[in-house]
Amino acid sequence: MKTPPIKIDKEGRWFYQGEEITHRKTYLLYCRSLTRDESGRMILRVGREECPVEAEDAPFVVTTIEFVPAGPGKEEILWITLNDETREKLNPETLRIAPDHVPYCQVRKGLFEARFSRNAYQIMAPHIQLDEKENRFFLPLNGKKYFL
């Protein structure tokens, strides 16, 4: 099978035939136009045009995370910002830590995985606790433990 001309590196940078896509509007369009075909393969779909995309790791990067404290009668919310400058509510049930100690979560309604940047991880790290009984780390949120 032919190697796709578009690749995404583990930092969320896009490349076309080995050259980094640095034009901001093109980069954002491509990030926001990434989808999956019927077989689950990642593709870039702009209008009627489609092109397969290869990702070195997760195709998205969590660049920052914002803890919004619970108000009266409300739950605490975690907002994440992705490398395409979109924000979405973090689903803490999808958090996981890879063997190389990098956190990941599901984004875009579970369609893709996102790798946490160092910055996002440093914002989240002070909130992570150790359950000594289970000997596992977790993120406490709204009275629940989300194990990593």
Using CA of residue 35, residue 37, residue 39, residue 43, what is the dihedral sign?
A: negative
What does the pLDDT read at residue 2?
A: 64
> Can you give the length of the chain in residues?
148
Would you state the pLDDT for residue 103? 95
Instruction: Please give the Cα distance from 17 to 24 (Å, whole number).
Output: 18
pLDDT score recorded for residue 27: 97
Q: Which amino acid is at 89?
A: K
Distance (Å, rounded) from C-alpha 80 to C-alpha 134? 28
> What is the pLDDT, as a whole number, of residue 1?
54
What value does the mean pLDDT take over residues 71-80? 86
Instruction: Give the Cα separation of 115 and 90 in Å (integer).
Output: 13
76 pLDDT tier (thresholds 50, 70, 90): confident
